């Protein structure tokens, strides 16, 4: 954008572009923008992170979705919604990574990142998929 429109990207612009790229499942481009955004000192909003985690999970990049984005979100104090956790658990199971799905659910409970109702919903997703 800076080359074409002679303007600097701000946090809002990066978030919007990352979300849009994720909606198109262009995870490579979204990841590049995320890295560029962080290099410039911006911290993505929860919407961008949730979009990234969902896009990674749906495209089969479970390891990236769980180990990079979700934990990075937590470290940056961004809210991870139940839909994101559910997608992560669902897609882990669909890729037959049951151990990873169980590990995620257990860790969420141990770190108190989900309430009792959300935990039970995630356990139901696990049981349904196993």
pLDDT digits (tens, 9 = 90+) for 32-77: 999 999 999 998 888 888 888 889 888 888 888 877 666 788 788 8
**pLDDT (tens digit, 9 = 90+) per residue, 88-104?**
888 888 888 888 889 88
Alpha helices in 40-115 (DSSP H): 46-58, 62-63, 71-75, 82-94, 98-110
* Superfamily (CATH) of domain 2-129: Tetratricopeptide repeat domain (1.25.40.10)
Query: Considering the entire predicted model, what is its pTM?
Result: 0.76
Chain center to CA of 18 = 12
């Amino acid at each position: 954008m800076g080359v074409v429109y002679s303007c600097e990207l701000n946090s809002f612009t990066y978030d919007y572009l990352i979300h849009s790229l994720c909606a198109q499942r262009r995870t490579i481009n979204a990841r590049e923008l995320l890295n560029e955004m962080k290099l410039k000192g911006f911290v993505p909003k929860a919407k961008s992170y949730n979009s990234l985690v969902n896009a990674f999970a749906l495209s089969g990049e479970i390891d990236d979705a769980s180990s990079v984005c979700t934990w990075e979100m937590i470290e940056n104090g961004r809210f991870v919604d139940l839909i994101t956790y559910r997608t992560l658990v669902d897609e882990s199971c669909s890729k037959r990574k049951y151990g990873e799905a169980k590990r995620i659910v257990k860790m969420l409970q141990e770190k108190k990142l989900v309430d009792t109702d959300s935990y039970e919903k995630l356990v139901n997703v696990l049981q349904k998929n196993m």
